[in-house]
Amino acid sequence: MTVRDLLTSEKFSAISLPDESREIRNVYIGDLLSWVMGRAKADDAWITIMSNVNILAVASLADTSCIILAEGVTVDETIKATAMDKEINILTTNMNIYETAIYLNGLL
C-alpha cells in the first residue's frame, strides 16, 4: 500500500505530500520521539499526536513513509513548509490512534 492509497479513503487528508508513492510496509505508534526514533522501522507509517517541528527530523532520520496525525491534530504553516522541503509526508485523521491502527491493519 502506498501513501496515495491511504488518501483515497475520506478518513485521511494530506497536510504535506511530497512523495505520495512512498510504500507503507508496517505501522508504528508513539509520542516519545526518542522511543520512536529507536524503534520505528523504515517504511513504517508513524501514528502520533505530537505536532512540534521535531517530528520532521524523527520521520526523516527513521525514514518512515509518512506521519499520521491522529485525533484531528494538525501543524502550523512553517512546519508544513519544512515538511515539503524535507520531503516528509504528513496526513491527518479525525480517528483516534486506536481506530487509526485498526483501520490500517485492515489495509496492510
Partner 1 sequence: MSEALKFHYVVDGQDFTSAGHASVMVKKNLRQLGLPPEKIRQVSIAMYEGEINMVIHAGGGVADVSVTEDYVEIVLTDKGPGIKDIEQAMQEGFSTATDNIRSLGFGAGMGLPNMKRYSDFMEINSVVGEGTTITMRVNIN
Cβ 51 to partner 1 shortest distance, Å: 10
72, exposed or middle or buried, with CB in 10 Å at 0-12, 13-18, 19+?
Answer: exposed
87 SS3 class: coil
Residue 9's CB is within 10 A of a number of other CB atoms, namely 11
CB-CB contact of 80 with 16 (8 Å): yes
The binder of partner 1 chosen from 38, 72, 81, 102 (CB under 8 A)? 38
Q: Which residue has the cell 491502527?
A: 101
Does position 1 bind partner 1 by CB under 8 A? no
Q: Is 37 in the site for partner 1 (CB under 8 A)?
A: yes
- Site stretch for partner 1 (CB under 8 A), options 3-11, 28-36, 65-73, 89-97: 28-36
50 lines the binding site for partner 1 (CB under 8 A) = yes
Specify the residue, 18 or 107, whose C-beta has the smaller distance to partner 1. 18
